[in-house]
Amino acid sequence: MGHLIPLIELATRLTHFNFTITILILNDGSPPSKSQLSLLQNLPPSISYIHVSPIDVSDLQSDCTIESRITLTITRSILGIRDSLRVLSKATRLVSVVVDLLGSSILHMAQEFGALSYVFFLTSALGFCCACTLPKLDKIHSCEYRDLPDPVHFVPGLVPVHGADFPDPVQDRKHGVYQLFINLVGSYSDATGILINMIVVEKLIFLRFTPIGPVIRSGSEDGLIDGSGSIKWLDEQPSDSVLFVSFGSGGNLSYEQVVELALGLELSGQRFLWVVKTPNNKSNASFFGVANNIDNPLEYLPQGFLDRTKGLGLVVPNWAPQVQILSHGSTGGFLTHCGWNSTLESIVHGVPLIAWPLYAEQKLNSVLVADDLNVALRVKPNEKGLIDREQIAEYAKCLMQGEQGKILREKMRALKHAAVAALDEDGSSKQSLAKVVEEMKNHKII
């Protein structure tokens, strides 16, 4: 979902320039989720999708990382992707192929059909700079990046980053996914251009990418009906009084951490709206812990918690309309895993953050929002790797009622104005996308 949502939003923007868009859906044998199906079934008329021929991934180990699975799915789908592009090229004028940041291995295929090719880098400029620096760091250092004594300056002017905050796929240099990631970055040079989901930053203007963000969801989310009662409940709360708590589509906590989070929210005395999911069975967070959330996640909450916090908080199982919640006047803070989609949505709606990164590049995003943009508090796990209830209560009270929280809120609202301005008719992101569109329209297929 974290990849599909921004790709569909970009496709929707391109339809405003009279393009028709076809999305290629790869098939590794896993059934699509309800949210994925709903997204695809509610596409605008100018966007269609094709299911590429299914591939076999039964040989992959159960502990295979999600990045490895996605990359191998793409690699093994090459023939099916080529067949789909061949059909498209015969039926229409195929001017461009756009891939996400993990799909750069198929960029060369665009050249076979005389089309331009673009990488849509779905995360931050800091993430892009980290990715582009990795091949150089790979040659300079032999140790694990988390063991580097000093933080790394990717480019002048950007906040330095400790190796422990690098993305998960590069934290174990002996793992196969590490070399996959290095190879992916190397293939970015095959692209006509790199589109990045951010607003323009002066200190990064010299880098080779085109900022077209923020590309986020708008309006009714995923075509899903809100049965949670979240918006009705928010309508009854005071302005800026509610802390929204959600860890995204792929974020699960351990049972012990769920208990600490519940008791911390209770201890804080702050109003909260918590999207709770079934915990996984590990001591720390992981990707997609329990398939489809079959269990009732409310059963894992501390005994009496729901009764004790009735009126103070609302607990919603599995899903709530995040964009509508963040845009609501009663929402005053967001405790988030720092997925880039969620981070951009909070920026566009001016909601300050408590940054609680879980996986992928989320630690990197938390460094950006906490240390560079100064719009977030970043949690610090204890020696057991947990955020305990007292810490959680302090973070919540600080963000929602403390002086530091007021400062973060003011800075986030200033950032909101910059993001909205970038998408105005004469804004930097709107103009950048227009130049890319012009490049596509003027391309002559050989």
Q: How far is CA 107 from CA 86, 125, 241, 415, in A?
A: 15, 21, 47, 34
Pairing of strands 271-276, 242-246: parallel
Q: Which amino acid is at 120?
A: F
Q: Name the active-site residue from 100, 165, 168, 222.
A: 100
> 276, 316 in Cβ contact below 8 A?
yes
Count how many Cα atoms sit within 13 Å of the Cα of residue 222 in the half-sphere of its side chain. 20
Is 16 a catalytic site residue? no
In degrees and rounded to multiples of 5, residue 364 shows phi and psi of -65, -45
Is 175 a catalytic site residue? no
Q: Name the active-site residue from 3, 141, 162, 443.
A: 3
DSSP string, 200-269: --GGGTTSS-EE-------SSSTT----S-HHHHHHTSPTT-EEEEE-TTTEE-BHHHHHHHHHHHHHHT
Helical (H) or strand (E) element with 442: none
Q: How far is CA 445 from CA 192, 260, 432, 438, in A?
A: 14, 59, 23, 15
Name 22's bridge partners.
48
Peptide bond into 214 cis (omega under 30): yes
> 425, 383 in Cβ contact below 8 A?
no
Name 97's bridge partners.
117
Pairing of strands 353-355, 376-378: parallel
Helical (H) or strand (E) element with 316: strand 313-317
DSSP 8-state symbol, 47 = E
**Catalytic residue set:** 3, 100
